[in-house]
Structure 1
Amino acid sequence: MIRIYLLEGKAFVWNYADVWRIREEHRIVGVLVGALPRKPRQNVRLGLPLELLPEEARLLLEKGLAILVKSPTSQSLDDGKSQDPLLPGKVAAYEMELEENYQEQLRLSAKQRKAVLDSLADRIAQGRAKKWQRKGEGGDPLVQPAESGSGFVLPQESMMIQLPTERSEITQEEEVDWHVAAQLWPYAGQEHHEMRYCIFRDLWERGYYVTTGSKFGGDFLIYPGDPMRFHAHYIALCFPKEVPISLRDIISAGRLGTNVKKTVLLCSVDQDGTVAYTSLRWSGMQ
């Protein structure tokens, strides 16, 4: 079961296997929002967690593919009474594990270095012979064997450290009822959310990949296949059925779609739940 974690009204998936599953099996894309450990100051390529739209999370919940949970509130470590009595032992075990990992990486690095030196032994010998000849010294050069690598030292700050993306220990997590509006999940029953979800679900059931359309000024972007392989064909704008759309908004939407080479879809939901679509394409003056 996919676990979706709530934080301040937003839904996140932390497990990489769940992220792969919801994309490959269920056509849910989401947005990666986590900084990469080795490049934390850039925002071009991001990593876990995966943030889901409320509509994406609800679709998984409605299909019975996921559950909505919230983590228990962490206790303050400033209060000595609230500290885990087993904390010193856990810290010692963690430090011991780090030392074992360091020794293992040191051994493997020395072994790899020795293999590289052994493969270059002939070239090293030839280089020493040429250097000996340039000095004009007679006789055969003293050919020393390649270093064994036993004296190799790996700086401890250069060792690789595993960074877990979810809790390493089992903790009690409280399941959240997504049918009821709450502080962490305020969307249940909201008219605007219900309209957006009906449109999102209808597009998803038609076989499209649907992502957020905020970067193009729309509600959703609609792809014929995985966004890693295809460009979006449509920009979806969601409007209530009974609310009139101003002519200025229609012209703006049409010109926007033309500038980014996409068709604009004006989407609305009837009282019976049927989704109606109207496409806009700017033809210009002929």
Structure 2
Amino acid sequence: MIDINPVMILIHLTDGKGFVWNVDDARMIREEHRLVGNLVGALVRKPRQNLRLGLPLQLLPEETRLLVEIGAASLVRHSLNEKDHSEDDDSSMDRAKSPSSTDDQDTLQTEVEVYEEYIEDSYKEQRKLALAEKRRTLEILSDRIAERRAKRRQQRGDVDETPMESSSTGPIKELQHLEETFYFPEETMMVHLPTARPSLGVVQEVDVCQASPDWPYAGQPEHEMRFKVFKDLWQRGYFLTSGNKFGGDFLVYPGDPMRYHAHFITICFPYNKEIPMSDLVTAGRLGTNVKKTVLLCSPNQEGAVTYTSLQWSGMQ
């Protein structure tokens, strides 16, 4: 177990992707650091709906690295026991990715049992509260219910009544055995949606500057190029999101994407390398079709980025 600053945002790594599970951290990332991410959480009963998504917040690799570099976040991974990160060789990485030892299975079994016990206790507590509410409602309405039943019996001419039932007021028979007859289906119980990831096993901090199975981007030329462009545009005050749906690397917004449309589509190219004419034509037509300006971005070794904008002028 490592000591992590509780004020720092925790980005949890899963299969090389960064996720934020804490709702306050997700809000801080957007409001204070101008990073958007992408909510990917869905309800268990409707896993395919994509209109109302919630936590976790999935971050782009560039967003993840930027938060770590500016000191706002810490990159962490979770393992089931200390042995998973006692060494950094290939065998320890394989164990972390595919836990198959007896200790790992026992730990997982314990987590499942704790969760099932929590669900059972929650159901009992909610049933108790629902029963109390049902009893309180019946006690308030008991006189009115008994009076209406007495009137219906008189209208039917039913004279075979018990002394309690013949009274126009007083407790109704449902209250006598409410504890035994009350039914509270498990499907209707409320489920607590956590706003932070519970601690599972041991937490280890991941170095963003070193490549690993949890963070494979370090040192990759394409990632380094994209990150330099992303950081430069972010420092200029823009908001950025993934540009995959428009065929680019990033979409660039003048403000929060909830309030503005994207103005630019960025496409990253290596510095001082020729760009095929077919790529230029494709990028120009792309920007014209979606009414956005295409930015060809090429960072050099020092991190300075050269921008070239493409706009379709039409035939003269």
What's the TM-score, normalizing by structure 2?
0.72
Match of 1:41 in 2: 48
Pairing 1:25–2:28 present: no
Pairing 1:63–2:70 present: yes
Cα offset, 1:190, TM superposition? 2.1
CA contact (8 A) 1:128 1:143 kept: no
Structure having the higher helix fraction is: 2
Alignment partners' CA distance in 1, 2:191 and 2:296: 50
Q: Which runs of 5+ in 2 are unaligned?
A: 1-7, 80-95, 158-167
Match of 1:105 in 2: 126
Cα offset, 1:273, TM superposition? 2.1
Residues 114, 276 of structure 1: CA spacing in aligned structure 2 closer, same or farther, 3 A cutoff? Answer: farther
Residues 244, 159 of structure 1: CA spacing in aligned structure 2 closer, same or farther, 3 A cutoff? Answer: same
What's the TM-score, normalizing by structure 1?
0.78
Alignment partners' CA distance in 1, 2:270 and 2:107: 57
Query: 2:185 aligned to 128, 152, 155, which one?
Result: 155
Larger mean CA deviation between 51-60 and 34-43 belongs to: 34-43
Alignment partners' CA distance in 2, 1:90 and 1:8: 22
Pairing 1:214–2:235 present: no
Q: CA RMSD in A?
A: 3.8
CA contact (8 A) 1:236 1:265 kept: yes
Pairing 1:6–2:13 present: yes
Q: How does 1:39-188 map to 2 (within 5 A)?
A: 39-72=46-79, 73=96, 75-76=99-100, 79=102, 84=106, 91=113, 97-110=118-131, 152-164=182-194, 168-169=198-199, 171-188=201-218
Q: Percent identity?
A: 56
Alignment partners' CA distance in 1, 2:263 and 2:43: 31
Match of 2:308 in 1: 278
| Secondary structure, counterpart of 1:173 in structure 2 | strand
The letter for the 2-side match of 1:28 is L
Alignment partners' CA distance in 1, 2:315 and 2:107: 77
Match of 2:233 in 1: 203
Pairing 1:261–2:268 present: no
Q: Which runs of 5+ in 1 are unaligned?
A: none
CA contact (8 A) 2:78 2:204 kept: yes
CA contact (8 A) 1:69 1:175 kept: yes
1:4-62 deviation line (CA, Å, top 9, x unaligned) = 22233222222222222211211111122333224223344433322211111110111
Residues 88, 31 of structure 1: CA spacing in aligned structure 2 closer, same or farther, 3 A cutoff? Answer: closer
Pairing 1:239–2:269 present: yes
Alignment partners' CA distance in 2, 1:263 and 1:104: 58
Residues 245, 109 of structure 1: CA spacing in aligned structure 2 closer, same or farther, 3 A cutoff? Answer: same
| Secondary structure, counterpart of 1:60 in structure 2 | helix
The letter for the 2-side match of 1:242 is N
Alignment partners' CA distance in 2, 1:226 and 1:145: 61
Query: 1:230 aligned to 251, 256, 260, which one?
Result: 260
Cα offset, 1:281, TM superposition? 1.8
Question: How many correspondences in the alignment?
Answer: 279
